[in-house]
């Protein structure tokens, strides 16, 4: 499997290897005839550029690193997809690393990216503290965090406007006539959840609604956990007409609990999610939700990173993306508002 190098081509074409390099890189300082002749020969010999050798000199690998907790997660694989496509559109390729299960693996992943000389890194952090954890390496190369709000941290990031998303959701429920709205599943320790809960509380104040938040002590959102929490929560329903779940996963878990308890959605109780994961659009789920525009977030993250790479700047910046409401079938219009 000895690969063909520029020298082999040079020998076959009876020119110096510099000339071959020029021919291949589209350098104008070369006659058309030789260029075409060389191109033809290298094609015949099955030559392929060794990017690694090129990177040594150019000090650019045209590679960007993507670190995600677990690619095996619909939300993240969707983000990853758009990151890959966007990066490729701009001539970059992706090294992927799962940071699961802990901060030490996340650190190793980052170390690896540095070692492979990637031109920059997009990180979907495990949690807020990832930022400090990775700082040592993140300071060595352009880095952009995706999907977590890292305000007050020394980092560039892209995040959805969680606060606004909650207000959007609450206003929607209010318009439908709901006045008794439970907020389900605020995960303590997560800034994302904190912001969403704050948005809920703000909306409650604005709309004159009594806030009621169910907190989670878990470290991750999942359908299963949402189900368990909902089972206990729904069994002593205290007159809520609607539930605003902190994430779609929680909402879907709650749906399952509701079914078990013979509570119909939306007839008995309306349900609103947050995130707009793929599942939510299934007719069998049909969850109305506040969407995180995943494609836009991914595209912006890559563009922000490319900007950093190409301008060699280490200044931090951030972008907060507008959420939007996706109407489906899990919220009911109350004929006369219950006061």
Under the rule (CB under 8 A), what is the footprint of a second copy?
1, 3, 46, 48-53, 55-56, 61, 63, 66, 70-74, 77-78, 80-82, 84-85, 88, 93-98, 100, 111-112, 114-117, 136-137, 140-141, 223, 252, 255-256, 259, 278-279, 282-285, 312, 314
Site residues, DNA (CB under 7 A): 3, 5-7, 14-19, 21-22, 24-25, 29-31, 33-35, 47, 49-50, 53-54, 56-59
Task: Indicate the residue among 84 and 161 with the shorter CB distance to a second copy.
Answer: 84
17 interface partner picked from a second copy, DNA, none, CB below 5 to 8 A per type: DNA
Task: Indicate the residue among 84 and 148 with the shorter CB distance to a second copy.
Answer: 84
CB of 53 to DNA, least distance (A): 3
204 interface partner picked from a second copy, DNA, none, CB below 5 to 8 A per type: none
Q: Kindly report the three-state secondary structure assignment for every residue of the chain.
A: CCCCCHHHHHHHHCCCHHHHHHHHHCCCCCCHHHHHHHHHHHHHHCCCCCHHHHHHHHCCCCEEEEEECCCCCHHHHHHHHHHHHHHHHCCCEEEEEECCCCHHHHHHHHHHHHHCCCCEEEECCCCCCHHHHHHHHHCCCCEEEECCCCCCCCCCEEEECHHHHHHHHHHHHHHCCCCCEEEEEEECCCHHHHHHHHHHHHHHHHHCCCCCEEEECCCCCCHHHHHHHHHHHHHCCCCCCEEEECCHHHHHHHHHHHHHCCCCCCCCCEEEEEECCHHHHCCCCCCEEEECCHHHHHHHHHHHHHHHHHHCCCCCCEEEECCEEECCCCCCCCCCCCC
CB of 46 to DNA, least distance (A): 12
CB of 107 to DNA, least distance (A): 19
CB of 287 to DNA, least distance (A): 51
CB of 55 to a second copy, least distance (A): 6
Task: Indicate the residue among 104 and 206 with the shorter CB distance to a second copy.
Answer: 104
CB of 201 to a second copy, least distance (A): 31
Task: Indicate the residue among 47 and 200 with the shorter CB distance to a second copy.
Answer: 47
31 interface partner picked from a second copy, DNA, none, CB below 5 to 8 A per type: DNA
């Amino acid at each position: 499997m000895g690969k063909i190098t520029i020298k082999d081509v040079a020998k076959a074409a009876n020119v110096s290897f510099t000339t071959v390099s020029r021919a291949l890189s589209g350098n104008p300082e070369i006659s058309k005839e030789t260029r075409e002749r060389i191109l033809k020969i290298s094609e015949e010999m099955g030559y392929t550029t060794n990017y690694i050798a090129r990177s040594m000199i150019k000090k650019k690998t045209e590679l960007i690193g993507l670190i995600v907790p677990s690619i095996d997660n619909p939300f993240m694989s969707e983000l990853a997809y758009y990151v890959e496509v966007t990066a490729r559109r701009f001539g970059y390729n992706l090294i992927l690393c799962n940071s699961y299960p802990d901060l030490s693996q996340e650190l190793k992943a980052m170390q690896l990216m540095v070692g492979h000389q990637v031109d920059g890194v997009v990180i979907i952090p495990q949690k807020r503290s990832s930022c400090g954890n990775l700082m040592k390496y993140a300071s060595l190369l352009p880095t952009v965090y995706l999907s977590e709000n890292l305000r007050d941290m020394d980092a560039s990031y892209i995040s959805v406007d969680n606060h606004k998303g909650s207000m959007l959701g609450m206003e929607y429920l209010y318009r439908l006539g709901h006045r008794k709205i439970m907020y389900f599943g605020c995960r303590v320790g997560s800034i994302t959840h904190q912001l969403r809960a704050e948005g809920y509380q703000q909306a409650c104040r604005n709309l004159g609604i009594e806030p009621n938040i169910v907190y989670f002590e878990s470290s991750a959102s999942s359908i299963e956990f949402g189900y368990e929490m909902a089972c206990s929560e729904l069994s002593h329903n205290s007159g809520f007409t609607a539930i605003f779940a902190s994430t779609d996963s929680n909402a879907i878990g709650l749906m399952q609990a509701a079914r078990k308890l013979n509570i119909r959605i939306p007839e008995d109780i309306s349900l609103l999610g947050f995130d707009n994961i793929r599942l939510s659009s299934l007719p069998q789920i049909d969850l109305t939700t506040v969407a995180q525009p995943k494609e836009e977030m991914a595209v912006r993250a890559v563009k922000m990173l490319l900007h950093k790479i190409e301008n060699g700047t280490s200044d931090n910046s951030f972008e907060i993306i507008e959420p939007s409401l996706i109407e489906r079938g899990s919220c009911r219009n109350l004929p006369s508002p219950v006061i």
